[in-house]
């Protein structure tokens, strides 16, 4: 009888730093019931990848689940597919770290009773250079998307077989995931999945259809727990797949033991199709969506889709400078601590991918994920001797100043307002300036975002199919920043300006200091910065801002001198953006010479002191991002702006003290 080979796989992952209750809910709603039902069907075979952070949580909190996995492996029902232990994007980390990350998860697979030979490619981010790293580890196959193959010129009809790919004389097998199956399973009735698979049957005995996707689709995504478990989708699926004579269920290893890959392909740098939209800068992403929609209206999308290519995953480092800075700091310390096993372990943790990018999940917009990355970077750097240095950390062609002592790391950007873009406490392992600005994202305006969710009577909607209208209460508070958010950013604002105008970016900035270059001199643990700029009223009034920043054991002290060439009534403001995440702030105005910030589950306590009375404006910085649940309006931090009246000259100091 003619058959179609079928490989079924899942990828289970929770990012390092995610809340315990998220792990618990995902475990109860998806990970546990999935494997318990699998145990009921001894003829069912699943290829599963579990990320290191999830396995560590399970081992600590649900050890009996580890026994279940061992049992399923022993029964031949479960093939373990590995990746980097802390789920890094392999193309975004050094080769030495790739080797260490994959070997860690291979070792864990051995504890489960399986010698892993395959890799689940995190976010399916492929680069040809990965071949040599994988071969060095004894990896025989990698799972990627069919989109990778189509981007290399193959037709859809050629994508039901694995192929070899080569780099530098080394080869590895690449399996294409069938996108059609990704959208059918588990969102459509089992009959539709079976119908599709049976339609693939032909005379070639090596033909194979591969499904391998997020395990969270089976119970965590909206509406899926009821559909998959309470309404019985998964049991019915396992039952019909294992009893259908036209479907030959296999693992990756079983397939390669029986068949030889079809030939040689060279895959370009790529990920799945949706990633090529998400990774583009917002304006270009909007055009990309419009272009794809236009092709759909004309009935041309499926025919020409392979040529519709957007960005690549690493574009996120261009799209989000904060992600790029975090990533380059990680790379910097990775190189420095490679021979120190304890410090290096922290860096491997800091490579967990989720906080570096953003698609339909929160990603870089989730402060607790970024905070965990920074925590591990700081802990790793704490093993090194403190050193002040001038270097281009983030590879933007302009040098940063890094001040460091036993307790703090301060990284300044002279070319961007002479401001502090990292203030990391080694004692608390937090970066006080881990604050994302408010950015316009393309999905804030694309027509699909305003379309109500259509009722799907034939299954359950995927999160890619959910409509998202921005609530009115969020629209009223929505604002977009024109500047990055740092500590010691220098403003000139008219005396009658209001806090509301300021926080909603409806005010007028009179000076040219916030994002413009400062000159500097570095002396020991002090850096003096100055800029000869101007105030732009009816005419330009030349103005000079000088600040000397000194790192100390409690934080830093900044001495300011601001002078105008001729008298002009204006407010000079110094803005400090602090990563207050656990206390939800509201806008406020008060007059003080000192104040405390208390963020008990995040930054802890700090005190800001001045030697002159200041009017202080504070407001939360909230970003709008899409998520699997709809919209997230998240506090990224709190802006504190100290305002001083000036007509000709003013001198003052600001002291930042960790408590």
Residue 350 and residue 325 in contact, taking contact as beta carbons nearer than 8 Å: no
Q: How far apart are CA 529 and CA 548, in angstroms?
A: 6
Other C-beta atoms lying within 10 Å of the C-beta of residue 275: 23
The CA angle 501-503-504, to the nearest 5 degrees, is 65
What are 577's strand-pairing partners?
Answer: 639
- The tokens of 31 are what? 């990970």
The CA angle 143-144-145, to the nearest 5 degrees, is 135
Q: How far apart are CA 413 and CA 534, in angstroms?
A: 20
Told to judge if 123 belongs to the known catalytic residues of this protein, a careful annotator would answer yes
Among 192, 195, 200, 212, residue whose Cα is nearest residue 146: 212
Longest dimension (CA), the chain: 93
- The tokens of 609 are what? 């002191």
Residue 441: C-alpha distances to residues 357, 437, 632 (Å): 13, 12, 13
Which DSSP category does 462 fall into?
Answer: -
Residue 175 and residue 79 in contact, taking contact as beta carbons nearer than 8 Å: no
- The tokens of 553 are what? 């054991």
Question: Among residues 214, 254, 477, 554, which one is catalytic?
Answer: 214
Q: How far apart are CA 211 and CA 255, in angstroms?
A: 14
Question: Among residues 79, 87, 97, 123, which one is catalytic?
Answer: 123
Told to judge if 214 belongs to the known catalytic residues of this protein, a careful annotator would answer yes
Residue 142: C-alpha distances to residues 118, 121, 177, 457, 577 (Å): 6, 7, 11, 36, 43
Decide: helix, strand or coil at residue 386.
coil
Residue 576 and residue 488 in contact, taking contact as beta carbons nearer than 8 Å: yes
Q: How far apart are CA 592 and CA 595, in angstroms?
A: 7
- The tokens of 586 are what? 């509201």
Q: How far apart are CA 51 and CA 31, in angstroms?
A: 12
Q: How far apart are CA 462 and CA 360, in angstroms?
A: 11
Residue 390: C-alpha distances to residues 387, 400, 411, 560 (Å): 10, 6, 9, 22
Residue 361: C-alpha distances to residues 1, 221, 230, 369, 541 (Å): 44, 11, 25, 12, 47
Q: How far apart are CA 306 and CA 295, in angstroms?
A: 12
Catalytic residue numbers, as ranges: 123, 214
């Amino acid at each position: 009888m003619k058959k179609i080979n079928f490989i079924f796989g899942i990828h289970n992952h929770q990012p390092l730093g995610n809340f315990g209750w998220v792990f618990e809910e995902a475990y109860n709603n998806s990970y546990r019931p999935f494997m318990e039902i699998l145990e009921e069907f001894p003829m069912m075979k699943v290829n599963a990848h579990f990320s290191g952070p999830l396995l560590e949580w399970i081992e600590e909190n649900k050890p009996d689940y580890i026994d279940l996995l061992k049992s399923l492996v022993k029964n031949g029902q479960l093939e373990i597919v590995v990746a980097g232990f802390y789920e890094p994007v392999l193309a975004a980390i050094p080769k030495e770290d790739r080797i260490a990350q994959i070997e860690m998860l291979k070792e864990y697979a051995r504890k489960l009773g399986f010698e892993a030979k395959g890799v689940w490619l995190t976010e399916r981010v492929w680069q040809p250079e990965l071949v040599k790293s994988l071969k060095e580890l004894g990896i025989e196959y990698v799972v990627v998307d069919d989109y990778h193959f189509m981007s290399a010129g193959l037709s859809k009809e050629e994508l039901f077989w694995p192929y070899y790919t080569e780099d530098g004389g080394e080869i590895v097998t690449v399996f294409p995931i069938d996108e059609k199956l990704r959208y059918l399973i588990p969102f459509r009735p089992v009959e539709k999945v079976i119908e599709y698979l049976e339609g693939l049957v032909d005379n070639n005995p090596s033909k194979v259809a591969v499904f391998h996707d997020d395990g969270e689709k089976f119970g965590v995504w909206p509406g899926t727990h009821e559909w998959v478990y309470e309404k019985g989708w998964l049991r019915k699926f396992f039952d019909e797949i294992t009893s259908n004579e036209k479907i030959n269920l296999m693992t990756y290893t079983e397939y390669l033991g029986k068949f030889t890959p079809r030939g040689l392909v060279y895959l370009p740098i790529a990920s799945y199709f949706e990633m090529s939209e998400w990774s583009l800068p917002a304006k270009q992403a909007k055009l990309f969506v419009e272009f794809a929609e236009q092709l759909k209206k004309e009935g041309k999308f499926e025919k020409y889709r392979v040529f519709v290519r957007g960005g690549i995953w690493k574009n996120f480092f261009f799209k989000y400078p904060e992600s790029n800075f975090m990533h380059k700091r990680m790379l910097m310390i990775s190189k420095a601590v490679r021979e120190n096993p304890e410090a290096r372990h922290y860096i491997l943790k800091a490579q967990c991918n989720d906080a570096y990018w953003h698609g339909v999940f929160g990603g870089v917009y989730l402060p607790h994920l970024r905070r965990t990355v920074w925590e591990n970077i700081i802990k790793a750097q704490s093993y090194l001797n403190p050193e002040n240095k001038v270097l281009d950390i983030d590879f933007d062609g302009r040098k940063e100043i890094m001040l460091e002592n036993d307790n703090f790391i301060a990284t300044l950007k002279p070319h961007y307002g002479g401001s502090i873009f990292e203030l990391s406490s080694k004692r608390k392992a937090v970066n006080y300036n881990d604050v994302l600005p408010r950015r316009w994202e393309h999905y804030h305006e694309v027509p699909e975002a305003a379309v109500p969710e259509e009722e799907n009577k034939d299954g359950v909607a995927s999160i890619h199919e959910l409509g998202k209208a921005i609530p009115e209460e969020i629209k009223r508070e929505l604002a977009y920043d024109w500047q990055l958010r740092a500590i010691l950013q220098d403003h000139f604002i008219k005396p009658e300006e209001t806090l509301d105008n300021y926080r909603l970016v409806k005010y007028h900035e009179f000076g040219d200091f916030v994002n413009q270059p400062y000159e500097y001199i570095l002396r020991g643990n002090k850096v003096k910065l100055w800029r000869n700029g101007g105030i732009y009223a009816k005419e330009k009034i030349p103005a000079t801002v000088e600040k000397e920043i000194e790192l100390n054991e409690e934080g830093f002290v900044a001495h300011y001198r601001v002078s105008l060439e001729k008298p002009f009534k204006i407010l000079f403001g110094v803005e400090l953006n602090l990563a207050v995440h656990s206390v939800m702030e509201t806008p406020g105005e008060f007059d003080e010479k000192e104040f405390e910030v208390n963020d008990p589950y995040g930054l802890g306590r700090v005190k800001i002191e001045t030697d002159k009375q200041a009017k202080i404006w504070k407001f939360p910085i909230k970003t709008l991002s899409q998520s699997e649940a709809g919209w997230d309006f998240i506090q990224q931090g709190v802006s504190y702006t100290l305002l001083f009246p000036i007509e000709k000259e003013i001198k003052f100091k600001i002291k930042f003290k960790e408590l």
